[in-house]
Amino acid sequence: MKRFINSAPAWLRNRAGKHGARAALVSVAGGLGTALRHSLRHGLSVAGIAGIAAFGVLYFNPHLAEDIIALSPFSSESMDEALAGGDVSGNVMAAPVALAVMAPAPIAVAPVKAEPARPVESTPLIAKAVPGHPEQQRVTNWIARRYRVATDAANMLVGATYATAREIHLDPLLILAVIAIESRFNPFAESPVGAKGLMQVMANVHRDKFQPLGGVQAALNPIANIKVGSSILKEYVKRTGSLEGGLKAYVGAADNETDAGYGSKVIAEYNKLKEVAHGSKPAAKSLPAPGTPKREQRTQEARNGSEIGSKGEPA
């Protein structure tokens, strides 16, 4: 200890003489700790200032950041070079190792027999016009002239009606008569209370019937509207047991004494279409505004439809 004190500087020998060797060592350790703390504090300050300066340079010069990233051994270009066998660092073994890590051993998989794709059933927005029987063609031409519908559009609508009638076993001329009175073959007709499309179907009341065809938004799809409206008409005719009673229920007047002449208008149009189908030429008279009596009673139909649906019967 004396040898260490004798080799120390004069201030240490002086302090050791006054307070002893142990106190001198504690003083030295405290001085070193204080110097180390100051050094770390200044070093962190310098590092922080340097980091801020570096971020500022990279912010105003983004190309420099890209160059720095490109120099990284983990960049995509460096990995590509390593995989190609030309590692930047000159390590020849980098490429095989990278390949061994990134390319796992192949696993034997039994071949799976591909199944043929199944066609997706959907309701087309526009049906193809298919030439029908001469009777159907006569009906198409008469509807096109009477209601001022384009021939191609009339051909499509009549063809879709005949196809639906064959599916549900209902007279297509009756369906066409309802369409004529309801909308005059306007597929985008809509009443103030929400009856839509060719057959003026209450889409919200008969939501379940539109569900397989794309939802209530399909009410303005001519094909979907004919399918749903025809099925509703057949259900009402079957339920009431007569054509007059079915038409009265269809218009929403099942609980009323009369249907405001709606049924007689549909039946009159139905008889004209039968004459046309057999080759006769009935006199074409102007019709009143389409759907007038029905629009006055649609609120009643909505109420009736809701009550029927709550009882578990088809609405």
d(CA 6, CA 2): 6
Predicted local confidence at residue 72, as pLDDT: 60
Predicted local confidence at residue 195, as pLDDT: 93
The three-state DSSP-derived secondary structure of 253-307 is: CCCCCCCCCHHHHHHHHHHHHHHHHCCCCCCCCCCCCCCHHHHHHHHHHHHHHHH
- Per-residue pLDDT tens, the chain, 315 aa: give them: 556 556 555 655 565 555 555 665 666 666 777 877 778 877 888 888 887 877 776 666 666 666 666 666 555 555 555 444 544 444 434 444 443 344 444 545 445 454 554 443 443 433 444 455 899 999 999 999 999 999 999 999 999 999 999 999 999 999 999 999 999 999 999 998 889 999 999 988 999 999 999 888 999 999 999 999 999 999 999 999 999 999 999 999 989 999 999 999 999 999 999 999 998 877 555 444 444 444 444 444 443 443 333 333 333
Predicted local confidence at residue 36, as pLDDT: 78
Residue 112 tokens read as 């799976």
DSSP the chain: -HHHHHHS-HHHHHHHHHH-HHHHHHHHHHHHHHHHHHHHHHHHHHHHHHHHHHHHHHHH-HHHHHHHHHHSTTSHHHHHHHHTT--TT--TTHHHHHHHHHSPPP------PPPPPPPPP---SS-------HHHHHHHHHHHHHTT--HHHHHHHHHHHHHHHHHHT--HHHHHHHHHHHHTT-TT-B-TTSEETTTTEETTTTHHHHGGGTSGGGGGSHHHHHHHHHHHHHHHHHHHSSHHHHHHHHTT-TTSS--TTHHHHHHHHHHHHHHHHTT---------STTHHHHHHHHHHHHHHHHHHHTTS--
Task: Go through the chain and tell me how many residues it has.
Answer: 315
Go through the domains of the chain in sequence order and give each one's CATH number: 1-60 (no CATH), 72-101 (no CATH), 134-310 (1.10.530.10)
Q: Go through 230-258 and write b for each residue having 16 or more CB atoms within 10 A of its CB, e for each that does not.
A: bbbbbbbbeebeebebbbbbbbbbbeeee
Please state at what angle helix 172-183 crosses helix 134-146, rounded to 10 degrees: 10
d(CA 123, CA 163): 13
d(CA 292, CA 183): 10
Predicted local confidence at residue 121, as pLDDT: 40
Amino acid at 31: G
